[in-house]
Structures are given as structure tokens and as C-alpha cells.
A and B are shown apart, each in its own frame.
Chain A
Amino acid sequence: MTMEPKDSVVHVHSLCKAYQLGETEVEVLKDVNLNVARGNFITICGPSGSGKTTLLNIISGIDRPTSGKIIVLGQDLTVQDEDFLAEFRCDNVGFVFQSYNLVSTLTVAENVAFPMEWSRKPEAEIEKRVAELLETVGLQHRANHFPAQLSGGEQQRVAFARALANDPQLILADEPTGNLDTKNGQKITQMLRMLKADGKTIIVATHDPEIMQLADQALCLEDGRLASKNE
């Protein structure tokens, strides 16, 4: 068994994940091992259905492994209950989904604010942080609009702003440019570059060569197994 390195933000050991499809068991992840050091930018590529999203979901605590160990920021996520995992995600993990996943009943500003409201941050701090984040993603003028009134690129930028709201140590992004055109994709890449410069730990599942160029380590998932892209 590998030991968790001291500066490790994510430590994955012998991780397996299988789904039951009728009478057939489909193994999505097979003996995956991964260490992500603080401040590292990791990209994971792989064909559709290779398990990229599943791996990110398990790292964020949205999904649970069938076997193996997953330690994030010193917490063994495999032994925690739903309530702990919810609080943990809220305070420590920023997740950007491929399909944006904004709350349709909340405005852009409210979508960005709600992780902070849920973490019981002071009112003034929330207002200041929302303004900062919307300026960063260039959507101040859209603050009071609802998600359905935004384009895909704008929605993805809001999703990034929301993921950064609680200043999480770990940022996960699942094909963040997958649904976007080139221009909007570049804006997202620019944001990731900025986050890397800020020293955030980032794991991105992507096929986007521009994002891959930012990676400290590029990994590839194939047939459920993780390998370095160069291997």
C-alpha cells in the first residue's frame, strides 16, 4: 500500500468502481492510483466512457468507490456520511460540470453567492466576493439575470465563479470547454491559467489541447486504468 505523501491534496489508492447494469457488472475504474500535490494542475483525458467523470465524482465525494481508498485534504472520504461530504464539498471543493448545472431559480449573482451563504459567511464579505468573481469572469452586467437567459459560455463562466466562491483548495472541472465554441473555450482556458497562477490544485478532465498544455501532469484513462499520457 502506498503512503499518503505529506503535501498531497488528493490521494487515490487501488480505487475500483463498478456499476451493475442488469445482470452485468461494468467495471469503470480498475485499480486507479493517484497522488496530486498541492498547487498541481492535472489533466485527465480518455475516450468517452473511460471513467473520467466517475473519477472526478469520487474525488469530490459525489460518488463512492466500490473499493479502494480516497483521501482528499486529509479526509478519508470512503468512511464519511452524506452530510459530512456535503459540508466538505461546500467548503473545500469547487466543481465545474460540463453541463454548467446552475440553479435556475437563482440569478447569476445568487448562484455565485449561495455556496458562501450556505457556509454562513458574513453578508458584506459575500457581496464583495460576488462582485469580484463576476468581474473576474466578465459578467457584472449579467448579475441579475437568470441562467436560462445566458448563453452556454456565460453559464460556464458563472459555474466557474460559483466553484471559486468559497475559495476552495481543490478545483475539479469536467470537460469545461466540451460544450463551448472556440472563443468561449479560450475564455475558460484563460480562467484556468489564472487559477493555476494563484496556486490552486486543479484536476481537469478534458480533451482540449490548450488546457492540456497547462498541465503539470497529463494523465490518460483507458479501459478503466490510469496512466501517464506519455506512457
Chain B
Amino acid sequence: MSKAAFPVNDLLRRKIQTSLTIITLTLSVASTLFLLLFSRRIGFGITSVGGTLTHGLSIVFSQFVLFVGILIFAVGAVITSFIVFLMMKQRTRDFGLIKAAGCPNGLVFGYFITELLTVTFLGCVLGVVLGVVADFAVTNIFHFQAYQKTPDLWLAPLVFAAFFALALIFGVKPMLDASRLSPIKALSPVQYFGLSTGPKLKPLSRFGLTLKMASRSLFRRQSASIRIIILLSIVFVLLTVSISGGMIANDTTQSWIENATGKDTILIAHSSMGTQYKLLLSKFVGATENGDFDYRHESLAIPNAILQQLNSTPEIATVDARLILKEHVQEVSNFTIDPETLVTIPVGDSREGDSLIVGVDPDKVTATWSLQGRFLNTEDSLEAVIGDSISQTMFSQPLYQSIRLQNQTFSIVGVCVDPINNGKVTYVPIEKLQNLTNTSNPNIVLVKLDLSADRSATLAQIKDKITSVNSDLTVFELDEVLQENLGFLGSAWSTVMLLPLFTLMSAALCLIGYAMLAVDEQRQEFAILRATGVKPNAIITILAIQSIIVLLSSFAVGISLGVITTLLILVPNPVVTTVTILEVAALLFTALAGMFLLSLYPAARFAKTPILKIIT
């Protein structure tokens, strides 16, 4: 056989191990590439915060994507290291035999580096293809059609190179160690099992005996066992962050959007203004509003007669009349004083830009925002609450600064998360806005019905009342837009939560690889046990105990770190309900049970093998 043919034939001979290694690497590469492509596509990627959604939401998403990305990459590194370690571990005896037959160190290393390069190349290429296909498929299947554009394919060679380097860096070490092992050590059982004596005999029950054999074998393979525990711990951190974090963040961000938009809210406006308002809300999911819209057009004004009629309808709980305009605004610079040095520090850069201006009566708003600071207090104060995106793009320390509108300065008292106009919004008292712009009437009215009211009957009554005054006015239900926005958020989080599936599959394959190593190393012992009267099921029990020990220790570490990371770092003011906790627990335990069952596959397969096929 030629020198070049040996590694290829060797890989083909060990089909299961080779496939396992390639698939594992493929999944790691694919999940990383998909994460980068998809997050950049919808605008909250690691390198592209802001621009879409609102700034506050983008920050939550980006932190998640960054954290999940780091974890996926870390898992990829550990997985790569582990699978190469497994490859080498299963070959220690082969090394001994090859070297005992006279093969020099360099040639042995050459054989196995060729194997590593072949496997890594195939895994990385397949991973890149799978990552690009997954990005394309998810974009077309879920609610992301609005974000269809050419993917940033320059990321593909980057991920390929990163993982290729990773495999080489982490793969060469165990390979060097194995190729340097002397043949006598590779072949000697004493080298393998050590020289220390065991404990004094203490007779045990069947289960005790099974447990003893399982734990001793596990401890004997300690380098592999420690590696798999570290790997699975990181995977469980990733899984917890993605699933629990994803669900909590989904609930939290959905509650922000739902509260800011207002559930069951009815919009009354001129039909064109109503359509424009809905488009402004839908910008969150990629819609575009009419840029030339004239908010001050007199036909859009809501007559006072309508407001009076609405206010006098007993079934209506809140009438929130608003004046909406698009205006040019300026950042007003200020100074703060360093509390330690008492030195004044300038704040702000006199930046300017366009903002949606919403005049509201602070006592009659239908929404409750997620706020930093507070909302407007009184009708006559010169105060403003700005959206999170405008706060990020135009202000340095917004709560210490003011905003200038029509040469009038408003102190900023709060920063809110609001989907309207992607968070580029400024709330001011309606009376001040009307005075400033010489506009006498609001141009939309948001209405909340009393909970006890018959909704359809009241809606019909409102429609009759407003059309009797002005037939151009229309009643819109905002729940449709709200559901669209919430659906988009849900889909985005579901996609983030999908990512660990790839990693989970990789980890499950690694666990199978570990179980195969366990079977491989113990096959002679298991055959002896069976030959001396132990039932095949007892062998499965021994391997199951080993899997349980590995899985539960990783699960405990991973879940604890994952929960701490999610609640303390990733989601500010998390909304955690009992249902969410139960859902998260169910999903995590399902993942645990699934991995456990998969890990039993090599054991079940082995238990069916006739004793004579395994005993020497």
C-alpha cells in the first residue's frame, strides 16, 4: 500500500467514527455560519447593532447573538478537540503496533495529520454549505421575507478558515502526544491501568457491583470523561441561555412592544392618517411609511365634537388624543459635574435629525412603556420622553440633556422602548406641541374600551358616531399590527433558539462517540462478564450509569451557569412567568433525556453482539 493511500483507507475502514467526526464538525461550522449570516441579515448581528427594530431590542438581541455566538464557537473548539482526541484515543494500540513494526514517529504523525486534514476539510466544506442553506431556508420559511437580500457570503470563508485552524490547533496536540508514545507504553496494560492496588473486598449487591464497575471504568478513562463533561457543560450553558434566555427575552420584549402599542387599542383617524400610523408601527417588521406624508393637513384634524362624543361614551375607558408630526430636532448640549473632582464635563454634541413627534396628554395615555427615567408628568411642563433609537443616535447622556423642537427646549425625562418609527420618536405634552406648531386639533385618537363593554356593539356605536360627524374618519383595530410585530419578535427569538439544535446534535454525536469509546475500551470485560453469567441487560446498565454520571454532572454545571448568565447579564428586567419556567424545564429535560437515550445506542448495539464475536 502506498504511503498516501494508508490514511484514506484507514478512514474508510472506520466508517462510523469517520462519519461521526465529519458530521460533528459540519454541524459546528454550520451553526456558527448560520448565526452570523442570519443575524446580519435581519440587522441585529454582532457587528450591526441598530438600524432595525428599535435600539433597545437590538441591544438585547445583539447581546444574545454575541453570547450564543461565543458559546457556539467555544463548543465548536471543544468538540473539535474532543473528536480528534477520541480518534487518537481509539488508536493508541494501533500506534504501538505500527511503531513496534518499525514505523518512525514522523511517518506516524504524517499518517494521522493527513487523516485530520481530510476529515477537517470535508467537515468544514459541508458545514459552510449547510450554514448557507439553513440561512436561505429559514429566511424563506419564517417571517423574514422583508429581509431577503444577498447574504454576506464573505463570512463563509472566514468561518471555514476559523474552524479549519481550530481543528488543527486543537487536533495536533493529542496527535503529537499519541505519536510520541513509546510502543511499549502503547501496548502495555500496566501503562494503561496503572500500578496502584485496589481497595479491600467489600461484597456488594448486583446494583452495587454494576455501579462499581461503571464508575471505575469512567474514572479510568478520566481524560476522555473530563473532556466530555466540559463539552457537555458548555453545551448545556448554551442550551439554557438560548432556550430559557430566548423564552424569557421573547416574553420580555413582547411585553415591551405590547405595552407600548397597547393591546385591544382602537385607532380613530382619517383613513390616510390611520394607514400612515399603522405603517409607522409596522416599520418594526420592515415596512416603509409614506415619506411625503403631510401630517399637518387640515383634513386630518379630529373635530372637538368627536372627542366630546367619545368622552361621553360610558363604554370607553380612555380617550388618548394625539398630535403626530414629523419634525427636525436638535440635541441640546449640557454639562455634568464629576462628583469626585467637581469638574464640569460637557455632555452632547449638538447633533440633529428627524423624529416623529407625538403630542400626548400625560394623564390619558393608553400605553405603558418600558422606561428608563419616567414618563411626562403634566400637560404644561416642557418635558420630553424620547425613543430608545433616537436616544442612542443623537444623545450622549439623554437623561441629563434636552431636545430642541421648533426653537423650544424640552428637558428629557425618560427614554422608552417603542416600536413606532423604529424607536425614533419623541413624546411631548400635546398642549405645548399644539402651541408650538399652531395646530389646534389632534390627528389621531387612541381609545381603550371598558373591560365590561360589549366590544363589537361599542365599536359599531363609535363608528356611527364618528361618521355622522366626518365620513372620512375611520376606525382601525391596532391588534393586527401588534400581532404582526409580536409574531416577528417570536419568529426572531425562535430562530435564535433553533441554533443550539445544531450544537445539541453535535454534542449528542460526541456523546455517542464517547459511548463508543467506552464500549470499545470495555468490550473484552463485557464479554468476560457475559461469559461468566452476567445478562446482556446488565451491560447496558453499566454503560447507562456511565452516561447518566456524565450527563447529570454536565447538566448541573451547565444549567446553573446558563440561568445565572441569562437572568443577571442578558435580559434587563426579565419577565419570568411560571409557564415559562415549566416550558424551559420541559425543554431542557427533553434534551437531557434525548441525549441519554441516544448515548445508549452503542450499548444496545453491543449487547446484541454474540459473546464469541467480542471475546479473544
> Which of B190, B201, B208, B610 has the most C-beta atoms of chain A within 10 angstroms of its own C-beta?
B201
Q: Is A90 an interface position by the 8 A CB rule? A: yes
Of chain A, the residue at the smallest CB distance from B530 is A86
Of chain B, the residue at the smallest CB distance from A110 is B201
List of 3 A-B pairs having minimum Cβ-Cβ separation, nearest first? A90-B533, A107-B198, A109-B201
State whether B205 touches A120 (Cβ < 8 A).
yes
Please measure, in the bound complex, the distance between the C-alpha atom of A61 and the C-alpha atom of B205, giving whole angstroms. 25
14 additional contacts, CB 8 Å, given A110-B198, A118-B533, A144-B200? A62-B611, A63-B610, A86-B530, A90-B533, A90-B534, A95-B531, A99-B616, A101-B524, A107-B198, A120-B205, A145-B197, A148-B193, A149-B195, A149-B197
Chain B nearest CB from A148 CB (Å) reads: 4
- Interface stretch, picked from A37-45, A122-130, A181-189, A196-204, is A122-130
Number of interface residues of B (CB under 8 A): 40
Q: Is B189 an interface position by the 8 A CB rule? A: yes
A82: chain B residues at CB < 8 Å are: 535-536
State whether B531 touches A146 (Cβ < 8 A).
no
Of chain B, the residue at the smallest CB distance from A88 is B533
State whether B201 touches A104 (Cβ < 8 A).
no
For window 174-206 of B, CB contacts with A under 8 Å fall at: 189-190, 192-193, 195, 197-201, 203-206
Chain B interface residues (CB < 8 Å from chain A)? 189-190, 192-193, 195, 197-201, 203-206, 208-209, 212-213, 216-217, 220, 522, 524-525, 527-537, 610-612, 615-616
A60: chain B residues at CB < 8 Å are: 531
A227: chain B residues at CB < 8 Å are: none
B612: chain A residues at CB < 8 Å are: 57, 62-63
Of chain A, the residue at the smallest CB distance from B217 is A105
A63: chain B residues at CB < 8 Å are: 610-612
B537: chain A residues at CB < 8 Å are: 83
State whether B200 touches A148 (Cβ < 8 A).
no
For window 92-108 of A, CB contacts with B under 8 Å fall at: 95, 97, 99, 101-107
Of chain B, the residue at the smallest CB distance from A131 is B201
State whether B534 touches A86 (Cβ < 8 A).
yes
Chain B nearest CB from A86 CB (Å) reads: 5
Please measure, in the bound complex, the distance between the C-alpha atom of A115 and the C-alpha atom of B199, giving whole angstroms. 18
For window 134-166 of A, CB contacts with B under 8 Å fall at: 143-146, 148-149, 162
Q: Is A223 an interface position by the 8 A CB rule? A: no
Q: Is A207 an interface position by the 8 A CB rule? A: no
State whether A102 touches B528 (Cβ < 8 A).
yes
Q: Is A113 an interface position by the 8 A CB rule? A: yes
A101: chain B residues at CB < 8 Å are: 524, 527-528, 531, 615
Can you list 21 A-B contacts (CB < 8 A)?
A82-B536, A87-B533, A87-B535, A90-B532, A90-B533, A91-B533, A103-B528, A104-B189, A106-B216, A110-B201, A113-B201, A113-B203, A115-B533, A118-B534, A120-B205, A123-B203, A143-B201, A145-B197, A145-B198, A149-B193, A149-B195
State whether B533 touches A89 (Cβ < 8 A).
yes
Q: Is A116 an interface position by the 8 A CB rule? A: yes
Q: Is A4 an interface position by the 8 A CB rule? A: no
Q: Of A89, A110, A127, which contacts B531 at CB under 8 A?
A: A89
Please measure, in the bound complex, the distance between the C-alpha atom of A88 and the C-alpha atom of B193, giving whole angstroms. 32
State whether A104 touches B525 (Cβ < 8 A).
yes
Chain B nearest CB from A54 CB (Å) reads: 9
Chain B nearest CB from A227 CB (Å) reads: 25
Q: Is A7 an interface position by the 8 A CB rule? A: no
B208: chain A residues at CB < 8 Å are: 117
Please measure, in the bound complex, the distance between the C-alpha atom of A90 and the C-alpha atom of B615, giving whole angstroms. 17
Chain B nearest CB from A159 CB (Å) reads: 10
Please measure, in the bound complex, the distance between the C-alpha atom of A95 and the C-alpha atom of B615, giving whole angstroms. 13
Please measure, in the bound complex, the distance between the C-alpha atom of A99 and the C-alpha atom of B611, giving whole angstroms. 15
B616: chain A residues at CB < 8 Å are: 99
